[in-house]
Structure 1
Amino acid sequence: MTKSQQDGAYEQIPAEAGLPGSSPGLVPDEDTGAEPGLEGFVLPPLASDAMLEERMTELLRSALRRQWWTFFLDERGRFLVAMPMADYPEDPDEPLSAPLGGTPAELLADRLSEIREDAGAEAVVFAWERSGSSEISADDRAWALSLASACASRRVRVRAQFIVHDDGVRIIASDQRV
């Protein structure tokens, strides 16, 4: 689909036209063998950091508010579920009071482990949305490190982490990039 510049409406351009933007980026679902049509089509697997960053940019574009996104990926690197969360704590390592105990990062990792299992996900991707520049702040770093560590101890694979800032999306950590 392409966006009409005249009126902001969307129009369908047949993929056979071979025009830029004529393919919605969908591929046949190998599991179902579905024929062409939107049913049975899925977005292609995100096999590289570049593909993942491109998809995150398409979805999130730039920061609107302070929130944290979790994307659950299947074993082929395709998105299964997206979960935004606003109002997460400022400090990932501040001890929580009883009856919860632990830290915010540990509590969130516990919940993510349960959701990952229920969704049949292989890995998660985090996007830390906040206003400001693309520079990684001390707060960004604290949350990225604490949550990754808590997830690792619960056997939740963190595929990558991103900052969603005023001007776009930036990868900050990846299991393909050390």
Structure 2
Amino acid sequence: FEGTVDAREAGAGGLADAVAVAVDDLVAAEMVARETGGVEDYRLVATAVGETTSKQYVRPETGERIVAGLRAAADLSEATTLTAFEVICDTPDMQDTYLGNAERADIYQFARSNAAQLTTDMTDPDDFEGWLESVKTARILDEWIGGATVEELVERYRIGPGDLDSRVERAEWLLSAAEALGETTGVRVPAVSRARSRL
């Protein structure tokens, strides 16, 4: 690290500390594991989940959240396509959908009335506003596969047609990643495949 520009400017200790924190985060997320023994103290190896996450081109935090979401969905009495969309929409790789003041109460009520289909308890999120935005996006996608037209969704949720297209495209990608991570972890949530096939 001493040879890098950052180390010269900030000092090698700061960079080494940042790398150590990043590695610790990846180990905690079960993306990499430390193998001990040999000449070095340890070496890092990708776990099966870490390898799948990397091959799906999603961020480690997205992979971690999807795996946690799949496990929570598998514990629900009946996971639905809304469940699958909530899992993938509450990740850093899904673009947020703006939540206006006028619709906040509506999305809150929607989340309350559909709580049995959601993997996140309304009292759990650290960023409640961000979670409500993900619920809004999940609702839009669920209504899209339910037959709502572009015009209806644009008017109802104040999004542009291009915004809808980009959310659908990202949802296809993230549902594909969720299927792959489900296969890797052995967590089967049929609603993920149903949601993906209907997009």
**TM score, norm. by length of structure 2:** 0.26
**TM score, norm. by length of structure 1:** 0.28
Highest CA radius of gyration, 1 or 2? 2
Greater strand share, 1 or 2?
1
